[in-house]
Amino acid sequence: MGTVASTPVRRVRHRSSSAVALLYLLPALLVFAAFFFLPLGRSIYLSFQRSDLFGRPNGFVGLRNYELLVTSGEFGRILLTTFAFVLLTVVPSMLIGLVLALLLSERIRFVRFFRTAFALPFAYSVATAAVLFGVMMNPATGAFNGLLSLVGLGPVGWLTQPPWALLSVALTSVWMQVGYNLLVLSAGLGAVPDDVLEAARLDGATGWRLQTRIVMPLISPQLFFLAVTGTIQALQSFGQIHILTRGGPDRSTTTLVYSIYDVAFANNNSNFGAGSAQAIVLLLVVLVITGFQFGVLERKVHYS
């Protein structure tokens, strides 16, 4: 024990055994194996299987589940809804978060108060936010239509009319997301060195120019991070759709993830084969986006 290692280095030479390290990796590896890697394999397997009435895999059908998906006509609409939902969620939440972060980076009073207040929506879970917005979006008694009526507008069928329903679900998601975006962007802005801003100001850059030419490029890693993680998170949204619209009206809020639930679990459908095929599509979409993220980051690292 008391022997002194000849050269103290972080990574001890490889001739010493990895056994101890593997022991320390084991708990995490076990959880991941049981609940990520094994199920991933089973998802792929199930997507090639027919399901019987009780959802049990019932014979290899090759790409049949995927074929049915593509030819159903419904799937194109689901992808389009998903894409619209992602766009309607990510873009506004980033814009509002950015505006808030920039406003709060000013030398003003009450910054701490405002920052804490604006971060509050971050505390809401998908269920608490969706139930709350559901109450406010109630067509007859909700606060939203009540406020609209004060200015002579409405009533709007927030959750009951096809074009509105998707907007309403997206609105709920944007609201939940803004606090997080603000925290990330504020952290980025806080790391922008003051002397850089001072130098830019001395060079005559102010206001809008300063923000767009100097500040925005400096927080581009944070913006990029939010765009990617926001997109992935929006793709995975489920609770707000399940609570507010159940994918309706007229399936106008049925996104990819909701469709997986719908096919596999809702109304005892138990069509795990078809659901798994859609799950694999989701996996591929997320992998492509993540791959894109790493590709861009890789380039940025070389660049700087």
Partner 1 sequence: MTTTATVAPPTSTDDPSPQRRTRRRTPSALGTYLGLGVLFVVLLFPVYFGLVGSFMGSADLTSFPPKLFPVSGLHPENYANALEVIPLGRQYLNSFVVAALVVAGQLVTSVCAAYALVFLPLRARTFWFFLLLSTMMIPWEAIIIPNYLAMAELGLVNTIAALALPYLAAGFGVFLMRQAFLTFPMELRDAARVDGVSTFGFLWRILAPLTRPSIAALGVWAFLSAWNMYFWPLLITQAPENQTIQIGITQLQSVDANDPGMVLAGVALALLPTLLLVLFGQRFIVRGLTAGAGR
Q: Which is nearer to partner 1, 36 or 73 (CB)?
A: 36
- In the list 238, 250, 298, 299, the residue contacting partner 1 (rule: CB under 8 A) is 238
Q: Which is nearer to partner 1, 73 or 173 (CB)?
A: 173
Query: In sequence order, which residues have a C-beta less than 8 Å from that of residue 292 and are 6 or more positions away?
Result: 228
Which one, of 74, 55, 88, 44, lies nearest residue 269 by Cα? Answer: 55
Phi-psi region of 119 (alpha: psi -120 to 50; beta: other; left: phi over 0): alpha
Q: Max Cα separation, the chain?
A: 83
Question: CA torsion angle for 148, 154, 160, 166 (degrees, to 10)?
Answer: -70
Nearest-approach distance from CB 23 to partner 1, in angstroms = 8
Nearest-approach distance from CB 292 to partner 1, in angstroms = 12
| Phi and psi torsions of 10, nearest 5° | -60, -55
- In the list 70, 80, 95, 123, the residue contacting partner 1 (rule: CB under 8 A) is 123
For partner 1, which stretch binds (CB under 8 A), given 60-68, 70-78, 86-94, 255-263?
A: 255-263
133-to-59, 88, 95, 175 alpha-carbon distances in Å: 44, 17, 21, 10
User: What distance in Å separates the CA atoms of residue 163 and residue 66, rounded to the nearest whole number?
Assistant: 29
Query: In sequence order, which residues have a C-beta less than 8 Å from that of residue 296 and are 6 or more positions away?
Result: 224
For partner 1, which stretch binds (CB under 8 A), given 71-79, 84-92, 161-169, 178-186?
A: 178-186
226-to-2, 170, 185, 221, 296 alpha-carbon distances in Å: 49, 17, 9, 9, 14
Nearest-approach distance from CB 208 to partner 1, in angstroms = 4
Place of tokens 């076990």: 30
- In the list 90, 98, 169, 184, the residue contacting partner 1 (rule: CB under 8 A) is 184
- In the list 157, 183, 227, 248, the residue contacting partner 1 (rule: CB under 8 A) is 183
Which one, of 189, 174, 185, 186, lies nearest residue 121 by Cα? Answer: 174
**Residue 242 binds partner 1, judged by CB under 8 A:** yes
Within 20-39, the residues that bind partner 1 by CB under 8 A are 20-25, 27-29, 31-32, 34-36, 38-39
For partner 1, which stretch binds (CB under 8 A), given 40-48, 67-75, 87-95, 162-170?
A: 40-48
Q: What secondary structure letter does DSSP report for 8?
A: -
Three-state SS at 119: helix
**Residue 108 binds partner 1, judged by CB under 8 A:** yes
Q: Which is nearer to partner 1, 73 or 304 (CB)?
A: 304
Three-state SS at 49: strand
Nearest-approach distance from CB 180 to partner 1, in angstroms = 7
x/- site string to partner 1, residues 139 to 168, per CB under 8 A? Answer: -xxxx-xxx-xx------------------
**Residue 83 binds partner 1, judged by CB under 8 A:** no
Question: CA torsion angle for 104, 107, 112, 115 (degrees, to 10)?
Answer: 0
x/- site string to partner 1, residues 44 to 63, per CB under 8 A? Answer: --x--------x--------
Q: Which is nearer to partner 1, 73 or 267 (CB)?
A: 267
Nearest-approach distance from CB 226 to partner 1, in angstroms = 8
x/- site string to partner 1, residues 188 to 227, per CB under 8 A? Answer: x--x-----x---xx-x-xxx-xx---------xx--xx-
Instruction: Give all strands (DSSP E) within the chain, no chain letters.
Output: 49-51, 57-60
